[in-house]
Structure 1
Amino acid sequence: MSNPPPVLTIDGPSGAGKGTVSRIAATRLGWHYLDSGALYRAVGVAASWADLDLSDPAALVRCTFDTDIRFHEREGGDLRVLVNGVDATDELRLETTGTVASAIAAIPEVRAALKDRQRAFRQSPGLVADGRDMGTVIFPDAPYKVFLTASADERAERRYKQLKDKGVSVTIDGLLREILARDARDAQRTVAPLRPADDAVPIDTTGLDIDEVVARVLAVVKPQG
């Protein structure tokens, strides 16, 4: 029986740089890329469009199975997310969508419904999977695992700059409160809480630029042989 394609999991809290680092790492390695958070955000958007009750697990599970989610990379590397045929990329990036995604991610039935969909991304020549439970739950057998962290203050500052560049009116204090609240929610949920896998390499990105973080992540991936 042939070995499954290798996986590099990159987990960590919101704002640690997982998305940017994961995409660059996937490009450098020539591997596929999974943004698991986008799947939860896409379900959250679909649920909002359908005006579903977020406290109704059965309705959210039906929504999870019924929602068509596709990733489309445009020329120049811009990744777009289509939800039921509609480009919902910008809506997926809103803080309100992230809050909804975090809430529904705490529902065991929703996580179970998305598990197989996430594992289907594991294809040759390899996969870089970005999320919060990639190394602990979705790909526990992954040969390469990283857990990115950064101080809450720095994560709030990064998010502030991102949103201001897009013309979104936010405050550092407000973002910091949201990040701390989300950290607590993600770490305390009963199913797949946010934590590093026992065999993950921790990388604190505080004070590091993207190139430095990518270099440290890629150093974890050893040549196949």
Structure 2
Amino acid sequence: MTVPVLTIDGPSGAGKGTVSRAVAKKLGWNYLDSGSIYRSLAVAALKQQADLEDEAAIVNIARAMVLEFDCGDELIVKLDGEDISAQLGLEGTGNAASVVAALPEVRSVLLQKQKDFKQLPGLVADGRDMGTVVFPDAENKVFLTASAAERAKRRYKQLIEKGNDANLAQITHEIEERDRRDMERKAAPLAMASDALYIDSSDMTLESVIDEVLNLIQ
């Protein structure tokens, strides 16, 4: 029996995670947050004080790590049995993840880990290259984006609400730099699949984005 797959791709901070988790919950499907896979690898590499550009070392860490996803209201990610959810959202983790994700050998090791999430009754896969590289045959694809300024404002608000110090100009600059890196990298750059539905969420409510995605499925 064919396992239905919905891919939701787009740049960092576009709301892919929130939308994907809500859609997966409503459909009763499995959920894959590919960004968390790369961020988990970044956490593991930083813990071991590995050189982020040493491909062989990062590949070994990637092969050895055991990941578990618990998709409730908030995503809980466990690395080798330890809850690392709080570390995933840190700017340092995100920047390190962007560096290790550009290593081709690392991507091929993590590719199979991602494909293994495709199980009945269905899968909602969220990332940068779900519809172009990981699940190119997915029946339903979405490319979700928002302006860099809007994404920076959302990130700033999140950090302030959690009691962290934040600088809006610096966050905007980091988001633009990360976009550029993700689009220019040789291995699976951030790109919209030719058969994806394009959604710009800059001026949309979360509920209207979720409804638009559910309409695509139904």
* Class of the TM-score when normalised by the shorter of the 2 chains: over 0.9
TM-score scaled by structure 1?
0.95
What displacement does 1:25 show?
0.5
Q: C-alpha offsets along residues 94-149 of structure 1, whole Å, 9 cap, x if unaligned?
A: 01100000110000001000011100100101000000000000000000000001
Are 1:210 and 2:206 an aligned pair? yes
Superposed counterparts of 1:71-150, under 5 Å: 71-73=69-71, 77-150=73-146
What displacement does 1:156 show?
0.4
- In the aligned structure 1, how far is the partner of 2:183 from the partner of 2:159? 25
- In the aligned structure 2, how far is the partner of 1:158 from the partner of 1:199? 28
- Equivalence for 1:68: 66
One-letter code of the match for 2:167?
T
* Structure 1 counterpart SS, 2:166: coil
* Structure 1 counterpart SS, 2:141: strand
Q: C-alpha offsets along residues 142-192 of structure 1, whole Å, 9 cap, x if unaligned?
A: 000000011111000000111111111011101000000000000000010
- Equivalence for 1:31: 29
Structure 1 residue ranges, 4+ long, deviating more than 4 angstroms after superposition: none
- In the aligned structure 1, how far is the partner of 2:81 from the partner of 2:199? 37
What displacement does 1:73 show?
4.0
Contact 2:31 2:71 in 1 (8 A): no
* Structure 1 counterpart SS, 2:164: coil
> How many residues of Structure 1 are paired with residues of Structure 2 in the alignment?
218
RMSD: 0.9
- Equivalence for 1:181: 177
What displacement does 1:79 show?
2.1
Structure 2, unaligned runs of 5 or more: none
- In the aligned structure 2, how far is the partner of 1:78 from the partner of 1:15? 16
One-letter code of the match for 1:52?
A
TM-score scaled by structure 2?
0.98
- In the aligned structure 2, how far is the partner of 1:54 from the partner of 1:206? 33
Aligned residues: percent identity?
52
